[in-house]
Amino acid sequence: MHIGIIGLGRMGLNIAEHLLEQNHVVVAYNRSQEAVKRAAQAGAIPAYTIGELCLKLSAPRVIFIMVPAGQAVDDVLGQLKPELARGDIIIDGGNSNYLDSVRRGKALAKAGIHFLDCGTSGGLSGARHGACLTIGGEEAAYRKLIPLWKAIACEGGYLYCGKSGAGHYVKMVHNGIEYSLLQAYGEGFELLHKAPYRLDLASISDVWTHGSVIRSWLLELGAEKLKEDAKLAKVAGKIGGGETGGWTLQEARRRHVKMPALTAALSARRASATHDSVSGRLIAYIRNGFGAHEMQMKKGRKTGKKE
């Protein structure tokens, strides 16, 4: 099928390349012309304005947006809306607040434009090789795009969650769980680091990935990083992010759900700005592993992307 992609950062470009590998036609736009050129080298049809992208797509258009949450999404939609027609479908694949997605869906519906909110999980590897998608919005529009969901997602990795906002709501809670899991791993390995034994953290993390109750992809990423830096001495314990976890906690309070694990994880993230810890170092490493999130190396060199 034909699809437009707006936003060619790490996630957007990887999704574009994944679709191109499966012989889908991708029209690609980004504010940076260099990013558009990279997509064109991978086989995408380049577009250097949003208007050009819309002209190069046949009706009904399908456009996947992968830009930072907040004003950036509204800016893109503001530029898109005059170029679109009734029956076109817009997908927001970023980490938008679900309430924003509800608002955007209502506004676009008045013009006959379908809006789907799509929580995209799996990090850079998922974007490139098969992601996990949770989708909200009009079910009929979702069903029209089942070939697209199958192309982007890993096997069994897409789900229609409900009306507008549901996809991003589920992704928000997913991220809250992720924060708590990362904090639990960080705390556990800090205790192992300070144990009255000479423990090999790399070997422990590796053996735990083989059959243990707490095995997971996050632990596998931690094991990989510990092989490179067994004493967690090369990276600072400053942990970025926190926005989607904060939204999860706000929603939990509105719904009278207690989330002490997430509360502690968010508190630890705030404290990490001024307090270095083994726990924070491992979490920073794992976040860099799945999303190339920025981390501060001990000698002052930063690596990865900003939030």
Find the CATH number of the domain harbouring 222: 1.10.1040.10
Tell whether 8 and 123 lie within a shared domain. yes
Tell whether 9 and 155 lie within a shared domain. yes
Longest dimension (CA), the chain: 67
How much is the pLDDT for 194? 97
Tell whether 157 and 15 lie within a shared domain. yes
Containing domain of residue 28, as a range? 2-163
**Spatial CB neighbours of 160, under 8 Å, sequence gap ≥ 6:** 135, 136, 139, 142, 143
Catalytic residue, chosen from 150, 155, 178, 302, is: 178
Q: Is 171 tagged catalytic?
A: yes
Catalytic residue, chosen from 171, 187, 190, 251, is: 171
* Helix (H/G/I), strand (E/B), else coil: 249: helix
Tell whether 228 and 99 lie within a shared domain. no
- Domain final residue, candidates 136, 163, 190: 163
Tell whether 13 and 40 lie within a shared domain. yes
How much is the pLDDT for 305? 53
Closest among 26, 72, 28, 67 to 50, alpha carbons compared: 28
Closest among 270, 258, 101 to 170, alpha carbons compared: 101
Tell whether 217 and 119 lie within a shared domain. no
Q: How would DSSP label each residue in 29-93?
A: E-SSHHHHHHHHHTTPEEESSHHHHHHTSPSSPEEEE---SSHHHHHHHHHHGGG--TT-EEEE-
Tell whether 235 and 124 lie within a shared domain. no
Q: Is 234 tagged catalytic?
A: no
* Helix (H/G/I), strand (E/B), else coil: 262: helix
pLDDT tens, residue by residue, 152-206: 999 999 999 999 999 999 999 999 999 999 999 999 999 999 999 999 999 999 9
- In CATH, what number is assigned to the domain containing residue 124? 3.40.50.720
- Domain final residue, candidates 128, 163, 198: 163
Tell whether 116 and 15 lie within a shared domain. yes
How much is the pLDDT for 300? 53
Tell whether 8 and 95 lie within a shared domain. yes
HEC string of 151-220? HHEEEEEEEEEECCCHHHHHHHHHHHHHHHHHHHHHHHHHHHHCCCCCCCHHHHHHHHCCCCCCCCHHHH
**Domain total for the chain?**
2
Tell whether 156 and 277 lie within a shared domain. no
- Domain final residue, candidates 163, 195, 211: 163
Tell whether 297 and 186 lie within a shared domain. yes
Q: How would DSSP label each residue in 84-108?
A: --TT-EEEE-S---HHHHHHHHHHH
Tell whether 25 and 128 lie within a shared domain. yes
How much is the pLDDT for 307? 44
C-alpha–C-alpha distance, residues 157 and 132, integer Å:
5
Length reported for the chain: 307
C-alpha–C-alpha distance, residues 3 and 27, integer Å:
6
Residues of the chain with pLDDT under 50: 306-307
Which 8-state DSSP code applies to residue 9?
S
How much is the pLDDT for 306? 46
